Chain A
Amino acid sequence: MNILPQLILNSIIAGAIYFLVVLGFNLIYGATKFFNLAHGIMAAIGGYSVFYFSETLGVSIYVAIILGVAFAGFSGFALDKFIYLPLRRRKASNNVLFVASLGAMTSLQAIIAILFSSKFKMFPQNVTTQKLFTIFGGIITQTQLVILVSAVLVMLGLVILLYKTQFGKAVRAISEDEEMARIIGIDTNKIIGYVFFIGSAIAGFTGILVGFDVGIEPNMGLNLLLKGVIASIVGGIGNIYGGVLGAFLLGFVENLGIWKISGEWKDAISFALLIVFLIFRPRGIMNK
């Protein structure tokens, strides 16, 4: 059997997931200019919320998804309100924000592990109960199809939000120059709070999709974050279209890489890609 079509399909699906992480990450990076390491944990919060609401409380799965996305969004908003905003007010350097987010990431991940144990968990609607589709000789599950469609929809939604609304204009102004945006009367701290909400909600949604696809574990946030950061640097940080390229390039390199090398080296392969880019093109594919 030829496994190439399957590998290509897997690469596209992995790329779509990384792309969703990158979207939120880039949005927050653009507005605040620091690497928010706690971004990945929002995915875990989304995934575990759905698990909690639907499994433990027995809420219908669609309501649980909405609650999960909202909960992840509020967590991001709260992090900004109670940690990052006070630091920004004090004109803290990027390194301070970076370390604070490292602390937030560690604590939240450990709290999730305490509440739900560090064991791997599956959603009830998992691979075994799903419909399968065959495309060009590769197999794709219903969830994976949903992942592909959502990646496109979320991106379209974000582009409309950023380029067609007043709010989007304000966000772009802040990304360009926060000082200037404040001078012309934009309440930058309020807008950045909303940006954290939206970015974290997208991350939470990604975590939920990953949960349906392969399951959830407390570590998932860190893994997604690392891939998201690599993809955004490779594509050119802060650049939406660069994010698409970076995410899919990473997906392909990883999945075609394990064709020749065994699967455990996936993480090492993706970081090797990062280091190659840091050596030869640290500003990424798209950035000038």
Chain B
Amino acid sequence: MEYLIHLAILFSIYAILGVSLNLVVGYTGLLSVTHAAFFGVGAYTTAIFLTKSDIGFFSSLIFGIVIAVVVSSLIGVVLSKFKGDYYALGTFGFNTIVFAIFLNWQNLTMGPLGISGIPKPELFGINFANNFNFLVLSFIFLFLVYFFSRFVVNSSFGRVLKAIREDEIAISVFGYNTLYFKLIIFVISSAMAAVAGSLFASYITFIDPSSFQLQESMFILVIIILGGLANLRGSLLGALFLILLPEILRFVGFPSGIEAQMRQVVYGIILILLMLYRPQGVIGEYKL
């Protein structure tokens, strides 16, 4: 039972990441591989504030969001000029830079050793060290993110995003400043990733840079492509499947030393097969 709760918490964290990345990749058609960077920004902000000050989880969460918004606005201004391959490469590069910062800014992030002993949240006398309480908390955040995302994509703003995806030049001829729309959705998505990062840091209570490298961004990309692009329920489905996949693989019985590598092989093959046979994913509404 305890283990199921653990899986459910991981699911809700990755579902938040998937839903938010889908706003950029699925709805706006921008192939972003830097989501783990903002996941990390949220996680490190929470970890640093909770271990070095006593401002509490929810204030640190807000700080994480603010920093993610500022950072993503700065890099977003550069990225929003591009689309297609160049956008993907720019985000690729940005993830590498952020990873280098986590790894090398030793005074703040403790470098490769990581930060341990991150306390669990506490609010109104409810202690979230209990895993079931934490599950409720992370589900509340998942619902907030999911419904806010649904509101965004169904609004007139969301329709412009889809129009950018289909034909950026056409929509800009109608007088829409596409750069502005691409920037805003990137910032919203990054802020949500920071929320997932805060939850992750205080749940696992230990973080190190390896959780936020390029492979992690790719993992989130697999979630949304598998579940389906431009479909928020698809991202939930993808997150559920990929969180359960290691458990399924465990029954196959790979030697424990190569388990992590074996998972990477499987993710890669899933991507290739999807591209070959079903580029829109299981229930997607948009083909890359």
Contact = CB atoms under 8 A, between A and B. Distances in A.
A283 B214 CA distance: 25
Contacts of B96: 226, 267-268, 271
A92 B279 contact: yes
A63 interface: no
B163 to A, nearest CB: 17
Interface residues of A, number: 44
A155 interface: no
Contacts of B276: 83, 86-87, 100
Given A114-B262, A226-B96, A98 B90 contact: no
Interface in B74-114: 75, 78, 81-82, 84-86, 88-90, 92-94, 96-97, 100-101, 103-104
B269 A92 contact: no
A37 to B, nearest CB: 9
B58 to A, nearest CB: 32
Contacts of A271: 93-94, 96-97
Interface of A, secondary structure class, is helix
Interface string A29-60: 00000110000000000000000000000000
B66 interface: no
Interface residues of B, number: 42
B99 to A, nearest CB: 8
B31 interface: yes
B275 A103 contact: yes
B272 A109 contact: no
B282 to A, nearest CB: 16
Interface in A253-282: 262, 264-265, 267-268, 271-272, 274-275, 278-279, 282
11 contacts: A86-B276, A87-B276, A94-B85, A96-B279, A106-B218, A106-B268, A226-B93, A264-B103, A267-B97, A275-B97, A282-B86
Query: What are the nearest 7 A-B pairs in CB distance?
Result: A103-B271, A107-B268, A106-B268, A110-B264, A268-B100, A100-B275, A271-B93
